[in-house]
Structure 1
Amino acid sequence: MTSIPSVDLNDFISDDPVKKQNFVNAIGKAYEDIGFVALKGHFLDDTLVENLYKEVKNFFSLPTETKQRYEIPGIGGQRGYVSFGKESAKGKKEGDLKEFWHFGQYVENNPKLEAEYPKNVTVNELSEFNAIGKETYKMLEKTAKYVLRALALHLGIEETYFDAFIYNGNSILRPIHYPPIKEEPKEAVRAAAHGDINLITLLMGAQGRGLQVQNHKGEWIDAMAQPDELMINVGDMLSRHTNNKLKSTIHRVINPPKELWGTSRYSIPFFMHPISDMKLDVLEGCIDDNNPKAFEDITAGEFLNERLIELGLIKK
Structure 2
Amino acid sequence: MVATLEEIDKKYNLRPFVDAPESKVDIPNKIELEAIDFSMYKEGSEGLESRQKLAKQLEIALTDYGFFKVVGHGISEETFNKLKAITQSIFELPADEKAKYLAGTYPIEQEKNSDLGIVSGVGFKPRGHWTYVKGVTDELEFINFRHFLHDEIYYNTPYPEFVQWHLSDIQAYFKYLHLQVLRKVLTLMDIILEIPEGTLYGNYFKPIPEIEKSGSGVARLLVYHPTSANYQLKTNQTWMRGHTDGSGLTFIASQPLLALQIQDRNTKQWNYVSHTPNALVVNVGDAISHLSGGYFKSAIHRVATPPSDQQGYRRETIIYFSNPRLDTVVDPEEINSKKLERIGFGFNQEWEKCTYQEWRNAKTNFFNRKSATQKKTLTLFGRPSVMSIIEPAPGTGTIDAPQKV
What CA distance in whole angstroms lies between the structure 2 residues aligned with 1:120 and 1:147? 30
Tell whether the 8 Å contact from 1:12 to 1:24 is kept in structure 2 after alignment. no
What CA distance in whole angstroms lies between the structure 2 residues aligned with 1:303 and 1:88? 24
What CA distance in whole angstroms lies between the structure 1 residues aligned with 2:223 and 2:360? 24
Q: Does 1:246 align with 2:302?
A: no
Residues 67-216 of structure 1: matches in 2 within 5 Å?
67-73=98-104, 75-77=116-118, 78-87=121-130, 95-108=137-150, 120-126=157-163, 128-142=165-179, 143-164=181-202, 165-168=204-207, 169-182=215-228, 184-185=230-231, 186-187=234-235, 189-216=238-265
Tell whether the 8 Å contact from 2:97 to 2:160 is kept in structure 1 after alignment. no
Aligned to 1:47: 78
Amino acid at match of 2:93: L
Amino acid at match of 1:293: F
Amino acid at match of 2:188: A
What CA distance in whole angstroms lies between the structure 2 residues aligned with 1:86 and 1:118? 27
Q: Does 1:228 align with 2:271?
A: no
Amino acid at match of 1:141: H
TM-score (norm 1): 0.87
Count of residues in Structure 1 that have an aligned counterpart in Structure 2: 308
Alpha-carbon spacing, 1:205–1:58, altered in 2? closer, same or farther (3 Å): farther
Amino acid at match of 1:184: N
User: Which of 309, 313, 317 lines up with 1:267 in the alignment?
Assistant: 317
Question: Displacement, 1:287?
Answer: 3.5
What CA distance in whole angstroms lies between the structure 2 residues aligned with 1:118 and 1:54? 21
Tell whether the 8 Å contact from 1:80 to 1:120 is kept in structure 2 after alignment. no
Amino acid at match of 1:162: L
Q: Does 1:310 align with 2:366?
A: yes
State the structure with more CA Rg. Answer: 2
For residues 176-200 of structure 1, the C-alpha deviation after alignment (integer angstroms, 9 at most, x for no partner) is 1001224521227221111111111
What CA distance in whole angstroms lies between the structure 2 residues aligned with 1:98 and 1:184? 16
Tell whether the 8 Å contact from 2:292 to 2:345 is kept in structure 1 after alignment. no
Aligned to 2:7: none
User: Could you tell which deviates more after superposition, 233-242 or 221-230?
Assistant: 221-230
Tell whether the 8 Å contact from 1:195 to 1:251 is kept in structure 2 after alignment. yes
Amino acid at match of 2:206: Y
Alpha-carbon spacing, 1:177–1:2, altered in 2? closer, same or farther (3 Å): closer
Amino acid at match of 1:157: I
What CA distance in whole angstroms lies between the structure 2 residues aligned with 1:289 and 1:167? 28
Unmatched tracts of structure 1, length 5 or more: none
Amino acid at match of 1:25: K
Tell whether the 8 Å contact from 1:148 to 1:162 is kept in structure 2 after alignment. yes
What CA distance in whole angstroms lies between the structure 2 residues aligned with 1:94 and 1:144? 37
Tell whether the 8 Å contact from 1:6 to 1:37 is kept in structure 2 after alignment. yes
Amino acid at match of 1:71: L
Question: Displacement, 1:290?
Answer: 4.3
Residues 295-306 of structure 1: matches in 2 within 5 Å?
295-306=351-362
Amino acid at match of 1:140: L
What CA distance in whole angstroms lies between the structure 1 residues aligned with 2:246 and 2:62? 16
Question: Displacement, 1:102?
Answer: 0.6
User: Could you tell which deviates more after superposition, 76-85 or 117-126?
Assistant: 117-126
For residues 238-290 of structure 1, the C-alpha deviation after alignment (integer angstroms, 9 at most, x for no partner) is 11111110000111110224564422111111001011111112234324584
What CA distance in whole angstroms lies between the structure 1 residues aligned with 2:238 and 2:61? 27
Amino acid at match of 1:102: N
Question: Displacement, 1:106?
Answer: 2.8
TM-score (norm 2): 0.69
